[in-house]
Amino acid sequence: MPELPEVETTRLGLIAHVVGHRVRDVVVRDARLRWPVPRDLGRRLAGADEIRAIRRRGKYLLFDMSGGSLLVHLGMSGHLTLVPSATAPALHDHVDIGLDSAQALRLNDPRRFGAMLWLRDPVERHALLSDLGLEPFDGQFTGAWLHAKARGRRVPVKHFIMNSHVVTGIGNIYAAEALFRARIHPLRAAGRIGLARYERLARAIRETLSDALAAGGTTLRDYVASDGRPGGFQNSACVYGREGEPCPACGAPIRCARQGNRSTFYCASCQR
């Protein structure tokens, strides 16, 4: 499940191979992603100049070109890899973006929750990006900011920090891990948590994401980086997917609760 560390690992792995190159051709084998891949994507990309930069906003990747940007979202099961241009496609290899370097950027996404769209300038005004919350590594993202934002909210704090209109890049895995580090119960109402605990949470979110980034992200099932290699953070997870195992801090068994359609993992003795 690509969250901020997986998307950022993908971005970092692609920069050296993609920036400064032009798109030669685009092959869409299956346009049925979250939204249809635009029919004119090939014309747009091949008609633009070279890819100037790759940016990340939340879980979105933006490949900046003249006149607009290619937006990519990996959804739940997507990954972007670089392959030699002639590489035969495998199952769920939906889109190839052929570069002038004899390599292709290949999107594989079994569940097709991902997206590939062309965004005209100014990109930030697009509906998908305009209402996004703060980046966790933005200097404005502090405990005080979170505390103010949570005022009056009755939603469980785990949902609150997974809401991309509040703070971007945090999904089910890192939300659970950050709340464990901050020793906050995932079901506690967001508006009923004090400033000091939000300071702890903001710090825990940044530490968790930094550690995961250093490990190359988390691979539970589908995720691989742009070179095809899996991440390593799954071995460092304290609570996610560890129901019944002893809490690394106190030894009590990790619990699993269901919130709507999602599982949440926590230590009932450490997290209050």
Partner DNA sequence: CCGGACGCCTGTCGGC
Partner DNA sequence: TGCCGACAGGCGTCCG
Question: Which residues contribute to the site for DNA (CB under 7 A)?
Answer: 1, 3, 32, 34, 58-60, 73, 75-77, 91-92, 110-113, 127-128, 152-156, 159, 162, 164-165, 171-173, 190-191, 220, 258, 260-263
Task: In angstroms, give the least distance from the CB of 175 to DNA.
Answer: 7
**Nearest C-alpha neighbor of 203 from the set 51, 254, 26, 195:** 195
Cα separation, 126 vs 162, in Å, equals 21
Q: Is 3 a catalytic residue?
A: yes
Q: Is 59 a catalytic residue?
A: yes
Supply the angle between the helices 4-18 and 195-214 in degrees, to the nearest 10: 40
CB atoms within 10 A of CB 126: 17
Cα separation, 146 vs 199, in Å, equals 8
Tokens of 169: 């890049």
Task: In angstroms, give the least distance from the CB of 6 to DNA.
Answer: 10
Task: In angstroms, give the least distance from the CB of 237 to DNA.
Answer: 11
Task: In angstroms, give the least distance from the CB of 148 to DNA.
Answer: 11
Name which of 155 and 249 has its Cβ closer to DNA.
155
**Given 11, 57, 59, 200, the catalytic residue:** 59
Name which of 20 and 89 has its Cβ closer to DNA.
89
Q: Is 124 a catalytic residue?
A: no
Name which of 34 and 52 has its Cβ closer to DNA.
34
Task: In angstroms, give the least distance from the CB of 172 to DNA.
Answer: 4
Q: Which residues contact 117 (CB under 8 A, 6 or more apart)?
A: 35, 37, 38, 70, 71, 128
Name which of 140 and 261 has its Cβ closer to DNA.
261
**Given 3, 6, 8, 177, the catalytic residue:** 3
Name which of 24 and 34 has its Cβ closer to DNA.
34
Active site residues: 2-3, 59, 262
